[in-house]
Amino acid sequence: MSTSCVFHLQVWPSTSADRGAITTALSRFLEVAGLSSELAVEVVELAGIVVVRATSSWAIAISGAGTWVPETEAQFDSAMRAIDPGCEISFGVRYPDDEQDLRDELNTTRAGEDASRRIEAFFSFSEGEVTTERSTTSVPVINAGFLVSRLFSVGDFFGVVDGAGTTLQAMLEKNGRVWIEVPAPQERGSYGKFVRREELAEMMRSLPEQITPLVTEGLQFTPF
């Protein structure tokens, strides 16, 4: 079973440390830990103090997190102190399990990302029994792909609705694949197909203004 984790990895270099070496070491650590595609390393100054950090602004699915997280924290400590024995580190992990946490994650964007274009979304995830209390919630389109990472258990689903009222919805099936469909009530049916998670995540990140049954190639019509 996968668990949803939000990571906050930070290193406060000692005064004599080579910040470039620490930055490089942190980048290499993320590659070894399998987090390089999700977390970007940056050097920031907080209250006059330099911090090298890598944080995730949304939940990442981690398998076997109960053992993976503490083992990875120990590896992180060792890797950073090998470069700078006097550094201070923080390996923060949060498990967003309720609806408000997920809403906050979905509405968090990184610097430079466009959060002005939004779309209505709804979801139901068995992990933490997270579900929308209302019918939909507004989220930045740039973050819509994050919903894909919350499909852990069979029957977990989410959907997005464009301004014309057309819905694209996705559900995790028993075969581990995701079924997507666009209901077409005026045609008394729906258009759908199975997709890989990566394909769905990319689709969600580049949603057009108007969702149509032809939003992806290969959707097959099934009558109600």
pLDDT at 35: 93
Mean of the per-residue pLDDT values for the chain? 83
Residue 185: DSSP 8-state? G
pLDDT at 105: 74
pLDDT at 14: 85
In the block, which residue shows the tokens 């032809």? 214
pLDDT per residue as tens digits for the range 145-159: 878 877 767 788 999
Residue, of 176 and 86, whose pLDDT is higher:
86
Burial label, 3 (beta-carbon count in 10 A; 0-12, 13-18, 19+): buried
* CA dihedral (87, 26, 106, 103) positive or negative: negative
pLDDT at 76: 94
pLDDT at 170: 94
pLDDT at 199: 81
Alpha-carbon gap, residue 214 to 194, rounded angstroms = 14
**Which segment of 12-16, 94-98, 186-190 scores lowest on mean pLDDT?**
94-98
**pLDDT > 90? residue 54:** yes
CA distances from 138 to 112, 113, 116, 142 (A): 20, 17, 11, 12
pLDDT at 130: 56
In degrees, rounded to 5, the angle at the alpha carbon of residue 152 between the alpha carbons of residues 146 and 158 is 50
pTM of the model: 0.58
Alpha-carbon gap, residue 95 to 111, rounded angstroms = 23
Domains and CATH numbers, the chain: 2-94 (3.30.70.600), 99-223 (no CATH)
In degrees, rounded to 5, the angle at the alpha carbon of residue 101 between the alpha carbons of residues 67 and 162 is 120
Alpha-carbon gap, residue 115 to 164, rounded angstroms = 20
Question: Which band of pLDDT confidence, cut at 50, 70 and 90, is reported for residue 216?
Answer: low
pLDDT per residue as tens digits for the range 157-210: 999 998 888 899 999 886 567 899 999 888 899 999 988 777 888 888 778 888
Alpha-carbon gap, residue 73 to 201, rounded angstroms = 28
